[in-house]
Amino acid sequence: MTTFWPWLSLAGLGAFHGLNPAMGWLFAVALGLHSQSGRVVWLSLAPIAIGHAISVATVLAVVVAFGSTLDPNTFRMAAAALILGAAGYSAVYGHRHRVRIGMRTDMAGLALWSFLMATSHGAGLMLVPAVLSLCLAGHASELAMASSLPISLAAVAVHSGAMLIVTAVLSLAVFAWFDLAVLRSAWINFDRLWTLALGATGIVLLVQ
């Protein structure tokens, strides 16, 4: 059971990221509406998922690399401080310093946008507590590179898969039955929710 909850957390965070319009489904719907094609919505899902997965994988690779050379408690405190710093930055600046790419971008540009957006939001940082919990299980005194890398790759797959499913469902549903005007009356402020989630992640890491 102790190893089940981190995986469930990774999937849940993937679903949460998929719900966030800034993580991709809003862009997929906008591209589909611009071209009046549901096929474009489908095609947009792959680069969105790939860009997000690369961003998350890059963060986790850095975590594994530094975690294998530092004392686990020192590394945990440093990671918590970084995540809380990202939450503070998000609280102060919100969406104002986020990357913007036009609606006429190609699929490579969409993948780049997804990577930059996930990175600027700190998407990979939110996975750190769950991944550390999995990596340290069985050898709590050190973060071993050999065993942590496969776990991290599996974590990226689980997280990205959940994110892709939710992104696909939302983007296709909004494209088929609604339009972007629904966001004015039927959606929540994800900037604030994202900031709270980052802060909660940092606190969890502090007390883990």
Which residues span the domain enclosing 28?
Answer: 4-207
Q: How confident is the model at residue 67 (pLDDT cuts 50, 70, 90)?
A: low
Split into its structural domains, the chain has a count of: 1
Q: Does 165 score more than 80 pLDDT?
A: yes
The share of the chain scoring above pLDDT 70, in percent, equals: 74
Q: How confident is the model at residue 47 (pLDDT cuts 50, 70, 90)?
A: very high
Rounded to an integer, the average pLDDT of 134-160 is 73
Task: Give the span between the Cα atoms of 202 and 198, in whole angstroms.
Answer: 6
As given in the structure block, the two tokens for residue 149 are: 């890398």
pTM of this structure: 0.75
Instruction: Specify the higher pLDDT residue, 153 or 144.
Output: 153
Q: Does 52 score more than 90 pLDDT?
A: yes
Instruction: Specify the higher pLDDT residue, 108 or 104.
Output: 108
Task: Give the span between the Cα atoms of 56 and 72, in whole angstroms.
Answer: 21
Rounded to an integer, the average pLDDT of 165-190 is 73
Other CB atoms within a 10 A radius of the CB of residue 89 amount to: 15
Rounded to an integer, the average pLDDT of 175-202 is 66
Q: How confident is the model at residue 98 (pLDDT cuts 50, 70, 90)?
A: low
Task: Give the span between the Cα atoms of 22 and 195, in whole angstroms.
Answer: 13
Instruction: Specify the higher pLDDT residue, 25 or 10.
Output: 10
Within 8 A by CB and 6+ apart from 137, the residues are 2, 3
- Asked if residue 102 lies in contact with residue 203, where contact means CB atoms within 8 angstroms, the answer is no
